[in-house]
Structure formats: structure tokens, C-alpha cells
């Protein structure tokens, strides 16, 4: 059975589009059942609507500084839609413990660096400034400390001589579009029943191949 997955976006939605494209395969273990944006003008919404995916805007501006109230509405929408997994894909809001704990082990994020290097914003410029030779992207479980949850998968790219920020951004983004669908598939196929959250996500290999 395909896992009902929501994708949360704030902008362009290219990772969301990659997830949608992969989920179109009948054999893919997750179904994108909802796309939710905190910004009504997010270009990704149009892409999702064109793909026939139910879209919802829950504009954070309506809630002023009350993050909890915003998240309560998001949480209700996710549960009403029968969502089992949540993928943050360029969702640019800090989350409170309420949403993070409510979806612990079931909420993934993609971050444009090889965590734990370069958490936060402007990762590509910072990677160039630091002179690293390898850069990349990470899919991790979301926990209360930003960009610090258990790492599920990473893809590395070289930083080439003369790289501009744009060139590096695009090189990483191409890998994001491969890594996120692969990781969601891994998680969705290992997802345990609702009564046993977490363990299979953190140990996605079959039990006989796990280290003791």
C-alpha cells in the first residue's frame, strides 16, 4: 500500500516536482496526497495543481507571531488528509516542538549541504567561501534542533575550480532531485505500522543485515 505523503513547500517546488514525477510510477511506495504551502504565491503550487494533486495554502501571515496556531491548522489538515509521511521541500519556516514531535520519525527534510556542515541558509556561498572540495545535499529526519536530525541519505558533488554560486547550486540541486525521491522510497517501504513509529525509519535495512 502506498504511503500517503504530504509535501510542504514555500517556493519554487523543484524538489516537490521530483517527488511527484517519481511517485507517478505505479511501483513507487509513496503517493503525494497533499501539497501544502505557507505562501499563497509559491510557484510550486501551480505545478502541483497542474499535476492534479490536492493543494492547500495555510498562510503563516494570517497567524501573526503565533507559530503554534499556524502549526495547529497544518497538523489538522495533515491528519484530516490521512497523511503518514511529511516531506519538507524548501519549506522555509522554523517548526516548533508541537509539529516536530507530532510527526517524529515521519517528517523528512532536504538540506542543501553535507550536514553537519553548513546548517542554515546560504549554504552554497558558505561552502565556496570555506574552500571545501566536496559539497552536496542531505535528507534527514526532522528533530527540534534545526538541520540536525538523523541523516538518512546524502549525495556529494565536487566543488570545481572557478565554480560560481549558481553553478554549484545547480550541481547540488540535480542531486537533490535524485536523492529525495530515493530516500522517500526507502522510508516509505520501511515504514512500520502506526503503532510502532520510528524504528524502521532509523534502521531501514532488513533486520538480518543490521549491525548488532
| 15 touches ligand GAR (CB under 6 A) | yes
Tell me how far, at minimum, the Cβ of 18 lies from ligand GAR, in Å. 8
| 173 touches ligand GAR (CB under 6 A) | yes
| 181 touches ligand GAR (CB under 6 A) | no
| 124 touches ligand GAR (CB under 6 A) | no
The single residue of 60, 70, 111, 124 carrying the catalytic annotation is: 111
Q: Is residue 67 within 8 Å of 75, Cβ to Cβ?
A: no
Which residues are within 8 A (CB) of 61 and not within 5 positions of it... i.e. 6 or more apart? none
| 112 touches ligand GAR (CB under 6 A) | yes
Which residues within the stretch 43-62 sit at the binding site for ligand GAR (CB under 6 A)? Answer: 44
Question: Is 177 one of the catalytic residues?
Answer: no
| 12 touches ligand GAR (CB under 6 A) | yes
**Whole-number Å distance between alpha carbons of 62 and 206:** 45
Among 5, 6, 8, 14, binds ligand GAR (CB under 6 A): 14
**Whole-number Å distance between alpha carbons of 200 and 193:** 10
Tell me how far, at minimum, the Cβ of 176 lies from ligand GAR, in Å. 5
| 110 touches ligand GAR (CB under 6 A) | yes
Which residues are within 8 A (CB) of 100 and not within 5 positions of it... i.e. 6 or more apart? 107, 142, 143, 144
- Read off φ and ψ for residue 155, nearest 5 degrees: -130, 135
Say whether the peptide bond before residue 147 is cis (omega within 30 degrees of 0).
no
| 138 touches ligand GAR (CB under 6 A) | no
**Whole-number Å distance between alpha carbons of 60 and 70:** 6
Tell me how far, at minimum, the Cβ of 19 lies from ligand GAR, in Å. 9
**Whole-number Å distance between alpha carbons of 195 and 69:** 27
Shortest-Cβ-distance residue relative to ligand GAR: 90
Residue with Cβ nearer ligand GAR (108 or 200): 108
Among 106, 111, 135, 140, binds ligand GAR (CB under 6 A): 111
**Sheet with strand 3-9: strands edge to edge:** 55-57, 30-37, 3-9, 85-88, 107-111, 134-141, 151-158
Among 2, 4, 11, 77, binds ligand GAR (CB under 6 A): 11
Active site residues: 111
Amino acid at each position: 500500500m502506498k504511503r500517503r505523503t504530504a509535501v510542504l513547500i514555500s517556493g519554487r517546488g523543484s524538489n516537490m516536482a521530483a517527488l511527484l514525477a517519481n511517485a507517478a510510477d505505479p511501483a513507487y511506495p509513496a503517493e503525494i496526497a497533499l501539497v501544502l504551502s505557507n505562501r499563497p504565491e509559491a510557484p510550486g503550487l501551480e505545478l502541483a495543481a497542474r499535476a492534479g494533486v490536492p493543494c492547500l495554502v495555510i498562510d503563516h501571515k494570517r497567524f501573526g507571531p503565533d507559530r503554534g496556531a499556524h502549526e495547529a491548522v497544518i497538523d489538522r489538515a495533515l491528519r484530516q488528509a490521512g497523511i503518514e509521511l511529511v516531506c519538507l521541500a524548501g519549506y522555509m519556516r522554523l517548526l516548533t516542538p508541537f509539529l516536530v514531535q507530532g510527526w517524529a520519525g515521519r517528517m523528512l527534510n532536504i538540506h542543501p549541504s553535507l550536514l553537519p556542515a553548513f546548517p542554515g541558509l546560504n549554504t552554497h556561498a558558505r561552502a565556496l567561501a570555506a574552500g571545501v572540495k566536496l559539497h552536496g545535499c542531505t535528507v534527514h529526519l526532522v528533530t527540534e534542533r534545526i538541520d540536525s536530525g538523523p541523516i538518512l541519505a546524502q549525495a556529494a558533488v565536487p566543488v570545481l575550480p572557478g565554480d560560481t554560486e549558481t553553478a554549484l547550486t545547480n550541481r547540488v540541486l540535480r542531486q537533490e532531485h535524485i536523492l529525495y525521491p530515493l530516500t522517500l522510497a526507502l522510508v516509505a517501504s520501511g515504514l512500520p505500522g502506526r503503532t510502532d513509529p520510528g524504528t524502521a525509519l532509523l534502521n531501514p535495512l532488513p533486520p538480518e543485515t543490521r549491525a548488532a
